[in-house]
Amino acid sequence: MRYLARRTGQAVIVLLAAFTGAFLLLQALPGDAIMIRYENPELGLSPQQIAEVRERFGVDTPLPVQYVHTLLGFFAGDFGYSLQTGTPVRQLLGEALPHTLTLGGIALVVAVLLAGLIAFGSSLPRLRWLRDVLRSLPPLVVSIPTFWLGIMLVQVVSFQLGWVSVIAPGPVEGLILPVITLAVPLSAPLAQILVRSIDDVSAQPFVAVVRARGASPAWILGRNVAKNAILPTLTMAGLLLGDLIGGAVLTETVFGRPGIGRITEQAVGLQDIPVLLAVVVLAAASFVVVNLIVDLLYPVLDPRLAARTREGVPA
Amino acid sequence: MSSYLPLRPAAATLAALALITLTACAAPAAGPGGSSSGEPVEGGTLVYLEHQAHTTLYPPSAGFYPNGGIVNNVLDRLVWQDPETRELKPWIATDWEVNADATQYTFNLRDDVTFSDGTALDAAVVAKNFDLYGLGDPDRGLTVSEAINNYERSEVIDDDTVVFHFSAPSPGFLQATSTNNSGLLSAETLDFTLEQFAPGNSAEVIGSGPFTITEETIGSTLTLTARDDYDWAPPDRAHQGRAHLEAVKITVTPEDSVRVGALLSGQADYVRYVEAQDEAQVEAAGFTVYAPQTGGVTNHLSLRPRGEILSDIRVRQAIIAGVDRAEVVDTIYTEKYPLATSILARTAPGYVDTDEAFGYDPQRAATLLDEAGWAEGSDGIRQKNGRPLTLVVNEAAPQPRSFEALTLISQQLKKIGVDLKILKADAGSAAEAVRDVDQVQIYHSMVARADLDVIKSQFHSQNRNALLNLDYGDGSIGDPQLEDLLQAVASEADPQARLADSAEAQRYLADEAYVLPLFEEPQVYGASDRVHGVTFESVARPSFYEIWLDD
């Protein structure tokens, strides 16, 4: 219990730091969203009219006041309004989040399955002939840019072969290509880690002992090696969340899908600070939560760690 | 995450390469180009792809093309501007009267028009519309319409008569009532704040147009549904009654290659923003490329005379003589981007030809720079008092292929010893830099509006101030004569005198070497051959009203 409380406390501090850092960095950018929106061509407003708008949006209030005001808003669940469009940020994120969660969640599962397939496939003695091919896949795939993969899939699978529709697709149909686009580059580092761990664990003395007792190689791989090799992979999967978010920006843009990535892409271009601030905090929050889950899973997978956490030693 | 953004041009290039190789062997089974003959088919959903998501439905901010494409189909206007002849004709207003000094406009209205919420479009609501657009409401974040000058107040005479009063002559007002910026909203919608006009609330925005907004996914899709009882199209339009289509599904597809690919593969019917380099491919596949002109201030470079180097007219003239505009247009664009011959497009009202001021003559450019005291340095860049002849131009992100065009211009200028740097910055840095003549000496931009006022919009100190004639730092005006000329265009009541004022302003900008017009900017659309009845309003925003689809 104490372990859980401490980890939660850490999470809150991380979030506060992320908020503060993002707030300061975004303030330090040249120009501001009001300038971009109202002083740029589109409207042709006079300096006097722009001054009125600036006053209305309160952009020129002192920084500490803005900080406290924004922070209190966040605690109350009010993320303000998009400076570019005027849409409430909460509504913007609320409508986009399910799309991104679905895409990212399925892509992560697919990536883990794919990585497992490659790693265990290449480690099974019967598939020795496939070993080199499978093991050379991850380094190859790692170097494929996400956007390129996405565009190639759209062009070939959708436009040339006509197998799935990209424009106005059904809910499942619309996920197929984006999930592949996001999952394939994600699976490569996972597979690499998993292959390495399998090799490491296989070389350990206890495996030799099990083997000496007459266990089959497949049995060893499934029962003894896999369980131990999965831990580092799990850690990696948690860390890959950043890649997942970055990949979502590109995937959602290429496929024209609604989602957090699209919102972020637009907000970055237009320096829409309230939106960016909320996205940063959201990303930090998901990072913290996923890694918390990973940490909490450790003791479940490895009883030795469970014993230590019960004693209050951080895992 | 911004580090991913620079990848997008690369993505586009790669995709374009992929497309070329892939589509070479897969021409769709399209028949000979779509003809508009035959009986219109009723019903069907048009799949229309937008390049960017819309930002607001507040009409005075509808200038952004993604906004305009929606507003033009959902909101009616008092007056209809014939996109071909630019004549102003009845629409919601059956007729009108303007007093001699253009300070008072009286409109008579149709009495059978309703908004999609069932309320009547009468004189009171029209008055309420223009009170908001003419005066703005800073408390609600709602700005004044750029198209309306000197607005004072409205006066409702009876249910179908309304009078607008102006504090000074406002000759551009009649045309202004025909633009997207003056789209008519229901009384309830007019009480909205800026936030309520934002994406996410679009279906609540009520107009009297042929389509209503029925569904929205923020930043992604928008569905327009035809109104069955629509019966007040401009009498001069070919089609009357309800729209042929059942609905229009607008989908935002930012990636160029995906938009074009979707069109070619039949997943989309109609797309906006076909890039110059993709035109040939779209046409080769049997599809139609539409390139309606935006017909206002052309795509041009403003040579800002208040900067240290460009304050010398000889340097400005040298830069103009040193740019081979024909090569720029031929290399970077297609024949759908005609070479500009004035700061206004040929199709713009009041246009006069000032082409002789923009001739390519590198010899003369060199002589001018010599005379101005800029001598060739060791690295080929001219110098004066130890300072290099270095100028900065902004990349105009909203304009087509701005960076490519500027790169070529920079190469051309290098030949006469001018070092032109291109500022490629995020929106925030760019917005700040273009307001400072020490940071950006040459400003790349354009603006569309089918009225004489457009030239004032672009260059007047109280509007876009493209030449930075108004110094934002100290509030001073550099060239009062230019201010007066532009003011005259916007406030002269006599139409003939106004044309003369516009001609004079165009000549002045050319003679002073303030501007270097490049091309007359179109909006480029692609459509499949099952799409018939494609039309545009006066500055190239799409109208879905007359469109019908083959089965």
Q: What is the pLDDT of residues A61-119, one digit of tens each?
A: 888 888 998 899 888 888 988 888 889 999 999 999 999 999 999 998 999 899 888 88
**CA-CA-CA-CA torsion sign (A154, A155, A157, A160):** positive
pLDDT reported for residue B31: 37
Contact A145 B143 (CB under 8 A): no
Which of A33, A57, A87 is the closest to B218 by Cβ?
A87
Average pLDDT over residues A3-28: 87
What's the gap in Å between the CA of B431 and the closest CA on chain A? Answer: 6
Which of A46, A55, A246 is the closest to B462 by Cβ?
A46
What's the mean pLDDT when you consider all of chain A? 83
CA–CA distance, B12 with A16 (Å, rounded to integer) = 38
pLDDT reported for residue B146: 83
Find residue B225's DSSP bridge partners: B212, B247
pLDDT reported for residue B535: 96
- pLDDT tens digits in sequence order for chain B, 551 residues long: 333 333 344 444 444 444 444 433 333 333 333 444 578 999 999 999 999 999 999 999 888 899 999 999 999 999 999 999 999 999 999 999 999 999 999 999 999 999 999 999 999 999 999 999 999 998 888 989 988 989 999 999 999 999 999 999 999 999 999 999 999 999 999 999 999 999 999 999 999 999 999 999 998 999 999 999 999 999 999 999 999 999 999 999 999 999 999 999 999 999 999 999 999 999 999 999 999 999 899 999 999 999 999 999 999 999 999 999 999 999 999 999 999 999 999 999 999 999 999 999 999 999 999 999 999 988 899 999 999 999 999 999 888 999 999 999 999 999 999 999 999 987 778 888 998 999 999 999 999 888 899 999 999 998 889 999 999 889 999 999 999 999 999 889 899 999 999 999 999 999 999 999 999 999 999 999 999 999 999 999 999 999 999 97
Contact B26 A81 (CB under 8 A): no
Length of chain A measured in residues: 315
Residue A259: helix, strand or coil by DSSP? coil
Contacts made by residues B430-434, CB under 8 angstroms, sequence distance 24+:
B430/A31, B430/B394, B430/B395, B430/B397, B431/A31, B431/A35, B431/A36, B431/A39, B431/A40, B432/A30, B432/A31, B432/A35, B433/A30, B433/B392, B433/B394, B434/B394
Residue A126: helix, strand or coil by DSSP? helix
For residue A14, what is the enclosing H or E element?
A: helix A2-28
pLDDT tier for residue A200 given thresholds of 50, 70 and 90? confident
Which chain A residues are within 8 Å of B457, Cβ to Cβ? 44
Q: Residue written as tokens 């179109």?
A: B522
pLDDT reported for residue A234: 76
Average pLDDT over residues A265-269: 84
Residues in CB range of A21: below 8 A, 6 or more apart:
none
B104-109 and B151-158 strand pairing:
unpaired
Mutate to test the interface with B, among A151, A165, A241, A281 (most CBs of B within 10 A): A151
What pTM, to 2 d.p., does this model score? 0.87
Q: Cβ of A199: how many Cβ atoms within 10 Å?
A: 13
Tell whether B375 is within 8 A of chain A (Cβ): no
Residue of chain A nearest B9, judged by CA positions: A147
pLDDT reported for residue B514: 98
Residue A30: both structure tokens together: 């040249």
Taking 80 as the threshold, does the pLDDT of residue A299 lie above it? no
pLDDT reported for residue B309: 96
- Give the range with max mean pLDDT: A171-175, A289-293, B19-23, B245-249: B245-249
What's the gap in Å between the CA of B264 and the closest CA on chain A? Answer: 8
**CA-CA-CA-CA torsion sign (B464, B146, A89, A51):** positive
Taking 80 as the threshold, does the pLDDT of residue A15 lie above it? yes
Q: Chain B neighbours among A 146-185 (CB < 8 Å)?
A: 147-148, 151-152, 154-156, 158-160, 162, 165-168
Average pLDDT over residues A272-287: 89
Would you say B51 and B203 are in contact if contact means Cβ atoms under 8 Å apart?
no
CA–CA distance, A107 with B159 (Å, rounded to integer) = 60
Higher pLDDT, B190 or A15: B190
Contact A95 B217 (CB under 8 A): yes
CA–CA distance, B364 with B460 (Å, rounded to integer) = 31
Q: Chain A neighbours among B 6-25 (CB < 8 Å)?
A: 7-8, 11, 14-15, 18-19, 22
Tell whether A268 is within 8 A of chain B (Cβ): yes
| Interface ipTM | 0.83
Average pLDDT over residues A145-151: 88
Residue B77: helix, strand or coil by DSSP? coil
Higher pLDDT, B170 or A32: B170
Find residue B114's DSSP bridge partners: B120
Burial class (CB in 10 A: 0-12, 13-18, 19+), A62: exposed
pLDDT tier for residue A195 given thresholds of 50, 70 and 90? confident
Across the A/B interface, how many CB contacts are shorter than 8 Å?
A: 202
Higher pLDDT, B32 or A18: A18
Which chain B residues are within 8 Å of A263, Cβ to Cβ? 219
Which of B56, B144, B146 is the closest to A86 by Cβ?
B56
pLDDT reported for residue A311: 54
Which chain B residues are within 8 Å of A92, Cβ to Cβ? 200, 218-219
pLDDT reported for residue B2: 33
Would you say A105 and A245 are in contact if contact means Cβ atoms under 8 Å apart?
no
pLDDT reported for residue A52: 80
pLDDT reported for residue B30: 36
**Residue ranges with strand state E in B258-296:** 270-272, 288-290
pLDDT tier for residue A307 given thresholds of 50, 70 and 90? low
Q: Chain A neighbours among B 305-334 (CB < 8 Å)?
A: none
Taking 50 as the threshold, does the pLDDT of residue A244 lie above it? yes
